[in-house]
Amino acid sequence: MTEFSDDAVTAAFAQVPAPIRRQWKRLRQLVFDVAEGLPDVGPVSETLRWGEPAYVCASGSTIRLGWKPQTPERYALLFSCQSKLVSVFREVYAETFCYSGNRAIEFELGQPIPQSELEHCISLALRYKRVRKLPLLGA
pLDDT on residue 132: 77
Contact 121, 105 (CB under 8 A): yes
What residues does 11 pair with on adjacent strands?
none
Q: How many CA atoms lie within 13 A of 91 on its CB side?
A: 10
Q: Where are the domains of the chain?
A: 7-138
Render the burial of 103-132: b for 16+ CB within 10 Å, e for the rest: bbbebeeeeeeeeeebebbbbbbbbbeebb
pLDDT on residue 139: 66
State the average pLDDT for the chain. Answer: 93
Between CA 90 and CA 121 the distance in angstroms is: 10
pLDDT in tens, 21-60: 999 999 999 999 999 999 888 899 999 999 999 999 998 9
pTM of the model: 0.93
Query: For 7-138, CATH number?
Result: 3.90.1150.200
